[in-house]
Amino acid sequence: MGRPPCCDKSNVKRGLWTPEEDAKILAYVSDHGTGNWTLVPKKAGLNRCGKSCRLRWTNYLRPDLKHDGFTPEEEEHIINLHKAIGSRWSLIAKQLPGRTDNDVKNYWNTKLRKKLLKMGIDPITHKPFSQIFTDFGNVSGFGNNDPGNHFGRRNIHNNNNNNNNNMVLMSKSEPSTILLNKNSSNNNNVIINPRTGFVQENSNLYSNPSWEFLPQFQVPNQEIIIQPNPNLFSDQVSSSCSSPSSSTITQRSSTVQQQSQIITTPSSPFSWSEFLLCDPISSPDFPQEPDNDQGMFSSTNSLTLAENETTVCQINSTNEKKFDNNIGSDDQAINNTNAEASSSSGSSFVDAILCQDSEMSSKLFELLDTSFD
DNA sequence: AAAAACTTCAACCGCCGAGGA
DNA sequence: TTCCTCGGCGGTTGAAGTTTT
């Protein structure tokens, strides 16, 4: 049973607040204090949702709030706190008198994040990109000459980065990474050279012929769901791991799933979406990759990356259902994630797809039979 | 000068846990 | 124990403002 709405949304005013409305809130709070916000609109004579009133008070009207710009000291404090605890904006805001979580969050997303990117620092891990890619390349065969490996499941990543829905794609022709920025209001892309850590914004990614990722997706007329993978540079990693108030698996998964990217191309009997949404490791048919040909998502990589973090508690959204049923601790989730991460190889990718497809087809018939019975 | 592109940030959304009936 | 309300949180949206073309 879902939670009922806090108010009749069709009959309340929304949008920006007028000075008159602000005055009513201020008058009410000065008389009655805060608390029981659902009654505030009625008592204060406002045609607003109580929740909206509370937000207006806490984010704007509170007398202890600062409304001027962030100082360099505050900026540094935010960066340090974000490095330590991730996007726990309310916790960060508590360390900054006069600032709200909304202020801090907005300031991070509009200023600090970009500032770090331009400095060649990953705003998630707070490490220089050059270091990340050096570490990454050392264990993943990142710079190897295996062109067949570039666009398997392992090579398509969504950098689940706050609200920006970035995807990381590897170029076939050079070991660079593109962060595809899917921000609704900002379509700029960021290109990073892993060797140098150089960061460059580029809004014309698709026009650059040196990036050969599109031909890799020529599975006709199917949705290609690029699963966001929290294993890499994931905000979920830093935030969910470092916070004592851990999010639930379901919560993380739903967030991640919302950010799946869909690319549509022309037809094929093969379902990418099913393949990518299932867990190949659970299939005994799925070939395992030899240790000497570790791809980007080998368990070794995952562990190596994990070692660079304080803790590891990554959940792959594709396994949500399984985790919901099976896991009892984050340790298991880690194991599952690492196991999942170790799956697949470029050369056997098609075989794996075919196996998976036939297995799913047989299961579907079984399921249908059962249902009809 | 006008249009397009980009940025900012207030406000909203949906989920969660706590606590009371 | 269950249901409901409330406050809190992080993520997202979109209007308004600003800058660029």
Residues with CB under 7 A from strand C: A 1, 3-4, 6, 15-16, 35-39, 50-51, 54, 58, 87-91, 101-102, 105-106, 109, 162-165, 184-185, 235, 239, 255, 258-259
Residue A159 above 50 pLDDT? no
**pLDDT tens-place string over residues A92-119:** 998 898 999 899 989 998 899 888 888 8
Provide, in whole angstroms, the distance separating residue A68's CA from nucleotide C20's C1': 27
For the stretch A3-49, pLDDT in tens is 344 566 667 888 889 999 999 988 888 888 887 888 888 888 888 88
- Helix (H) or strand (E) holding A179, with range, is strand A177-180
Q: How far apart (Å, rounded) are the C-alpha atoms in residues A187 and A184?
A: 7
Which distant-in-sequence residues (6+ apart) come within 8 Å of A36 by Cβ? none
Contact A53, A41 (CB under 8 A): yes
Nucleotides of chain C in contact with protein CB (under 7 A) are 3-16
Distance, CA of A162 to C1' of C11, in Å = 7
Which residue from A91, A90, A84, A27 is spatially nearest to A53, judged by alpha carbons? A27
Is residue A214 within 8 A of residue A196, CB to CB? The reply is: no
A362 vs A196, residue with greater confidence = A362
**Which of A34-38, A100-104, A163-167, A301-305 shows the lowest mean pLDDT across its residues?**
A301-305
pLDDT value at A362 more than 80: no
**Per-residue pLDDT at A6:** 58
Specify whether the CB–CB gap between A341 and A302 falls below 8 A: yes
Q: What's the mean pLDDT in A191-210?
A: 41
Q: Which residue is nearest to nucleotide C16 (CA to C1')?
A: A16
pLDDT at residue A67 in the model: 87
Task: Provide, in whole angstroms, the distance separating residue A67's CA from nucleotide B14's C1'.
Answer: 28
Residues, CB < 7 Å to strand B: A 2-3, 9, 13-17, 49, 51-52, 55-56, 59-60, 102-103, 105-107, 109-111, 114, 185-188, 203, 248, 250-251, 254
Report the alpha-carbon distance of residue A200 to residue A129 in Å, rounded: 12
Q: Which residues contact A7 (CB under 8 A, 6 or more apart)?
A: A38, A41, A49, A50, A51
CA distance A140 to A142: 5
Nearest nucleotide over every DNA/RNA strand to the A85 CA, judged by C1':
C10
Non-local (6+) Cβ contacts of A199 within 8 A are A117, A118, A119, A120, A129, A190, A191, A192
What's the CA gap between A168 and A184, in Å, rounded?
Answer: 17
Rounded to an integer, what distance in angstroms lies between the CA atom of residue A140 and that of residue A236?
A: 22
Residues forming beta bridges with residue A178, ordered by sequence position? A169, A191
